[in-house]
Structure 1
Amino acid sequence: MALPVEGETIQIHSYKHNGRIHRVWQETMVLKGTKNVVIGANEKTLVIESDGRTWLTREPSICYFHSEHWFNIICMLREDGVYYYCNVSSPFVYDNNSIKYIDYDLDVKVFPDMTYALLDEDEYELHKKEMGYPEVIDKILKRNLTILISWIQQRRGPFAPDFIEVWTNRYELNRDIQADTNPE
């Protein structure tokens, strides 16, 4: 099985349950790539929506994907602190130089003070009916939402106090290495 390699650039593909593409992030630098965890970083990367609209991310972000948990976490580094956008999703797969997952609508936004808000419950209920999410998926997603919230409360994984510093330093190191090997 191929794994992403530290320093390489990959894409991130988000799909919906019906198999349709939802969103693509064009360039994310791999900071860690194992069979269970991929940590990446991007900054001002092009994002393509399913309807063709495009936009650039505003701030540097550290992205956390796990092959066994039904969520992924985007850590957005803003001037007033780190904001976390957590997608309840399928575990990731790595295929054709891309991280791929199914976005299941429910999101958790975590603020710098570690308070959080559950988002898009109405969208989840609508898509659950429209796309026919099986009951087993519904149970898995709700169980993983509980796990995600416990990570937030316990400051585990990407919410740990030193996570951002460690991976931001690794990102800067990799950018410096690339700049040295690819002078303009």
Structure 2
Amino acid sequence: MRIPMEGENIQIHSYKHDGHLHRVWEDTTVLKATQKLVIVANDRVRVTESDGRSWITREPAICYFHSQAWFNVIGMLREDGIYYYCNISSPFICDDEALKYIDYDLDIKVYPDMTFQLLDEDEYERHRRQMNYPDVIDGILKKNVNQLIFWIRQRKGPFSAEFIDSWYERYLTYR
């Protein structure tokens, strides 16, 4: 696996379990990268959907990927606080093309007061049947939903009070 360089701009590619490309984020700046952890940031970046439609993100975001976690976390800096969007996903890989992961539909939205909401359970069930997610994957994903909720409640990792702010300050040095 290639480890991107700090300060390098990369793309992020999200796939579905059946292998088709789901979404691409352009021009994302690497803030930290090791074999186990990648932290990136972007602001007003183009996102292209699998159907070719594209849109621009509205606010700065710090994204956290871990090679042993079946989720990734996006912390979005908005005027009224930090919102998190957490994707239940495969662990990431990096190659010469992009940082890549499989999106498994389930998401958790976390509000600035750290309340949260599990989203897209119906989409997950539909895709689990359509794409034949193996039982072992289903079990791993459900376990990681619980792990992610534990992290949120404990303010662990990207949910700690200073995590997003400190990485955003680092990101500003690259702009």
TM-score, structure 2 length as denominator? 0.99
Structure 1 position 55 matched with structure 2 position 55:
yes
Do the aligned residues in 2 keep the contact of 1:71 with 1:144 (CA within 8 Å)? yes
Cα separation, 1, equivalents of 2:97 and 2:134? 30
Percent identity reads 64
Instruction: Name 2:45's counterpart in structure 1.
Output: 45
Cα separation, 1, equivalents of 2:88 and 2:33? 21
SS at match of 2:39: strand
Misfit runs of 4+, over 2 Å = none
Instruction: Name 1:181's counterpart in structure 2.
Output: none
SS at match of 1:51: coil
- Output the amino acid matched with 1:113: D
Instruction: Specify every segment of 5 or more residues in structure 2 that has no aligned partner in the other structure, as ranges.
Output: none
Cα separation, 1, equivalents of 2:78 and 2:32? 22
Cα separation, 1, equivalents of 2:174 and 2:48? 25
Instruction: Name 1:120's counterpart in structure 2.
Output: 120
Let me know the Cα RMSD of the aligned residues. Answer: 0.7
**Structure number, greater radius of gyration:** 1
Cα separation, 1, equivalents of 2:78 and 2:97? 28
Q: How many pairs were matched up?
A: 175
SS at match of 1:174: coil
Do the aligned residues in 2 keep the contact of 1:4 with 1:97 (CA within 8 Å)? no
Structure 1 position 15 matched with structure 2 position 3:
no
Cα separation, 1, equivalents of 2:108 and 2:164? 18
TM-score, structure 1 length as denominator? 0.94
Instruction: Name 1:91's counterpart in structure 2.
Output: 91
